[in-house]
């Protein structure tokens, strides 16, 4: 259901967003929204379990490039294939009315991460679609509440949950999951390592 890229060169953020943008989606429920990313051309995608928790009526919005800017394509027939509250991951499947092929993103290897490596996130913070933020890997492996996360300085807000964290080669290295919100706290964002995503799938 997923693929790993062959050797890819690092690119600018502008070039990267052009390459990966159509694979990053908005996931909407009756009570909120989050982000996700497509991993298989038939419409399989990853998001956080807490984004869809308690909901069966889901809408996925895919943003596609068109001659006059971005086109929003909404899909309301969404199947929950698998979910794990422990891992905070969910695998969804878009069920289009007619056969379609979706743009996908490749998954990297968490073991190749280095401290200080530049990363970026694409998502829908506060519903602001296809927003991009960048940062660095602050720590490759941070243990919180019994789970391991990639700690970064990438700005995340509600709505980023479930979206991808990329390296500069446009490969997913994690799933944005949470941030520390406290007085005086800045740049404390956490993503689920992509190798945990692979194991979940």
Catalytically active residues are 50, 88, 161
Tell me the C-alpha to C-alpha distance, in Å, between residue 62 and each of 35, 95, 162: 10, 13, 15
CA 169 vs. chain centroid, Å, equals 15
- Residues 19 and 12 sit within 8 Å (Cβ to Cβ): no
Kindly write down the DSSP assignment for every residue of 108-156, as one continuous string.
--GGG--TT-EEEEEE-GGG-TTEEEEEEEEEEEEEETTEEEEEE----
- Residues 105 and 20 sit within 8 Å (Cβ to Cβ): yes
Token output for 143: 């243990």
76 Rama sector, left if φ>0, alpha if ψ -120 to 50, beta otherwise: alpha
CA 83 vs. chain centroid, Å, equals 15
Can you say whether the dihedral through the CA atoms of 153, 159, 162, 167 is positive or negative?
negative
Helix, strand, or coil here: 157?
Answer: coil
């Amino acid at each position: 259901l997923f693929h790993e890229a062959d050797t890819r060169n690092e690119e600018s953020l502008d070039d990267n967003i052009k390459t990966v943008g159509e694979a990053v989606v908005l996931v909407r429920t009756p009570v909120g929204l989050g982000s996700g990313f497509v991993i298989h051309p038939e419409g399989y995608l990853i998001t956080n379990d807490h984004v869809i928790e308690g909901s069966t009526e889901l809408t996925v919005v895919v943003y596609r490039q068109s001659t006059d800017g971005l086109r929003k394509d909404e899909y309301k027939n969404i199947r929950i294939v698998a979910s794990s509250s422990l891992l905070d991951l969910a695998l969804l499947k878009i069920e289009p009315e007619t056969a379609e092929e979706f743009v996908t993103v490749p998954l990297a290897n968490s073991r190749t991460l280095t401290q200080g490596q530049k990363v970026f996130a694409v998502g829908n913070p506060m519903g602001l679609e296809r927003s991009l933020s960048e940062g660095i890997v602050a720590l490759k492996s941070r243990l919180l509440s019994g789970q391991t996360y990639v700690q970064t300085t990438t700005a995340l807000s509600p709505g980023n949950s479930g979206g991808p964290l990329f390296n500069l080669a446009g490969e997913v290295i994690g799933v944005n999951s949470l941030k520390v919100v406290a007085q005086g706290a800045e740049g404390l964002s956490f993503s689920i390592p992509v190798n945990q995503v692979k194991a979940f799938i």
